[in-house]
Structure 1
Amino acid sequence: MIEVSNIEKSFDGTPVLKGISCVFETGKCNLLLGGSGTGKSVLLQCIVGLMKPDIGSITFDGTVYTNSKIDIRQEIRRKIGMLFQGSALFDSMTVAQNVEFPLQMLTPEMTPEERRERVEFCLKRVGLEKAGDKMPAEISGGMKKRVGIARAIAPHCTYLFCDEPNSGLDPATSIKIDELIREITHEYGITTVIVTHDMNSVIEIGEHIIFLHQGKKLWDGTKEEVLNAEVPELQEFIFSSALVRAAKKVDDESVGGLAALTESVDHGGGI
């Protein structure tokens, strides 16, 4: 579990995060939802330590991360996996070498054979066991995302952060990436934090949703609750999606609405 308490962050005197407090739950897909410029990515960077908040604290499973000694921060960072928006693979490395890279950096005690076995396991887990010798330029965008997930979980991460994991992907591939992230989160009991503005992802995997607007947290809850949230800014955001408008229409007609839709998704129905 990750606890964020009263985080504030400004740039050149302009507030970007305004007293945000929230909890990211273990073993669940926690979504940071909001439009562009709402502070999602800045909050994510503060949590993982790429930025230092001006005010507030961040706690990982009871250990305070902000303002801690460097050895404590480094120990927590070893448990963090990151899936970047553009995958951020090294073009000059093969798929297998990309997945092995964090093991070389973070687990020097592992032998080359142990690293190779771990890489093979992670690639198999994301369905890319035959792609290890390929270069990033030789694989599709969806495969690159899966390589990014394999690299993130390779060091046995406890916390997984995903920045717009479906960016640039077609709808069918986006659903597969969402499903893979959810499966890995549940399988390994990871605390997963996903930055997104995609309502399809909310319906697919939104077990815990935190809505940001103009640097403030305005709402949090589940995908089953999101349609009936009495927050005007959230209503305006979610009903920009034709999919959610259709789900709401069914809900208003008392035929199950979003509950039926999410149940279908949870049982593999897709969208």
Structure 2
Amino acid sequence: MIEIKNIRKSFKGTEVIKGISGEFQQGKVNMIIGASGTGKSVLLKCIVGLVTPDEGNVIYRGRDFFNSEKDVQREIRQEIGMLFQGGALFDSMTVEKNVMFPLDVLTKMPSDEKLDRVNFCLKRVGLENVNKKMPSEISGGMKKRVGIARAIVNNSKFLFCDEPNSGLDPQTSILIDELIKEITYEYDITTVVVSHDMNSVVESGDYILFMYQGNKLWEGTKDNILQNDVPELQDFIFANHILRRLKEKA
């Protein structure tokens, strides 16, 4: 589990995260949702330690990240897997080398064991025999799956996904959603997904935190989100529905 307590963050005098708290459960797909510019990605960066909040705490299984010694912070970072928007693969590296990168940086694992682990993870995301391909030689959906393989290659306990369906067609988006959900349940990972895609939310949202202008306005699950009484969330859901209908007609 990850607990966030009263997270606040300002840039140049403008507060973009306004005292947000929540609990992301282990073995669940936890989602941070909201329109563009609401602070979702900034909150995610605070949680993973890429940005230091001005106030508040982020607690990983009882360990207070920002108030811990450097060796504890390093331990937590080694337990984190990250799927960046767009996949963020290294263009100059093969698929195999991309997936192996965290093992090269964070472990002293022998080369043969690293390769075995890479092959296992690629097989788990449905990508076999693509080891020697370059990122430019595979599709957008395949890049996302390579990104997921890289995120879990180090036996991650915490998986963070920033807009995993960005730039994908609806059918591929569903496949990525299902893969993230399967891996979360199978390996009992605490998964946190930043998204503005309501289709992903209603399919995968075991816990949902809705943000609006830097505030948390609602939290709940996929089972009760459609019965919410928050006008801003209702508008968000309606706008998603209209956008999806337009994409289907295009």
Structure 1 length normalisation: TM-score? Answer: 0.88
CA displacement at 1:242 relative to structure 2: 2.7
Q: Please give the per-residue CA displacement for 1:215-252, whole angstroms capped at 9, x wherever unaligned.
A: 01111111110011111111111112337999xxxxxx
Is the contact between residue 126 and residue 147 of structure 1 (CA under 8 Å) also seen in structure 2?
yes
Secondary structure of the 2:105 match is helix
When the two structures are aligned, how many residues end up with a matched partner? Answer: 245
Partner of 1:11: 11
Partner of 1:225: 224
Distance of 1:229 and 1:81 partners within structure 2: 32
Q: Please give the per-residue CA displacement for 1:160-198, whole angstroms capped at 9, x wherever unaligned.
A: 000000000000000000000000000000000000000
Distance of 2:2 and 2:29 partners within structure 1: 12
Secondary structure of the 2:7 match is strand
The aligned amino acid for 2:72 is I
Partner of 1:145: 144
Partner of 1:234: 233
| Structure 1 residue 197 corresponds to structure 2 residue 199 | no
CA displacement at 1:200 relative to structure 2: 0.8
| Structure 1 residue 129 corresponds to structure 2 residue 105 | no
Distance of 1:203 and 1:212 partners within structure 2: 16
Distance of 1:8 and 1:91 partners within structure 2: 35
Secondary structure of the 2:19 match is strand
Secondary structure of the 1:239 match is helix
CA displacement at 1:122 relative to structure 2: 0.2
Q: Please give the per-residue CA displacement for 1:120-175, whole angstroms capped at 9, x wherever unaligned.
A: 00000001011111110000000000000000000000000000000000000000
Q: Please give the per-residue CA displacement for 1:36-90, whole angstroms capped at 9, x wherever unaligned.
A: 1111000000000000000000100011101321111111000000000011111
Partner of 2:248: none
The aligned amino acid for 1:226 is I
Distance of 2:242 and 2:207 partners within structure 1: 20
The aligned amino acid for 1:120 is N
Unaligned runs of 5+ in 1: 247-271
The aligned amino acid for 1:133 is K
The aligned amino acid for 1:157 is S
Alignment of 1:27-38 (within 5 A): 27-38=27-38
Distance of 2:199 and 2:131 partners within structure 1: 30
Distance of 2:24 and 2:239 partners within structure 1: 26
The aligned amino acid for 1:175 is I
CA-based RMSD of the aligned residues comes to 1.4
Secondary structure of the 1:75 match is helix
Distance of 1:131 and 1:245 partners within structure 2: 32
The aligned amino acid for 1:233 is E
Partner of 2:63: 63
Secondary structure of the 1:51 match is coil
Distance of 2:29 and 2:239 partners within structure 1: 23
Unaligned runs of 5+ in 2: 246-250
Is the contact between residue 34 and residue 211 of structure 1 (CA under 8 Å) also seen in structure 2?
yes
Distance of 2:242 and 2:209 partners within structure 1: 20
Secondary structure of the 1:240 match is helix
| Structure 1 residue 187 corresponds to structure 2 residue 209 | no
Percent identity of paired positions between Structure 1 and Structure 2: 64
Is the contact between residue 239 and residue 245 of structure 1 (CA under 8 Å) also seen in structure 2?
no
The aligned amino acid for 1:50 is L
Secondary structure of the 2:20 match is strand
Secondary structure of the 2:211 match is strand
Distance of 2:60 and 2:128 partners within structure 1: 33
Distance of 1:126 and 1:226 partners within structure 2: 30
Distance of 1:49 and 1:224 partners within structure 2: 31
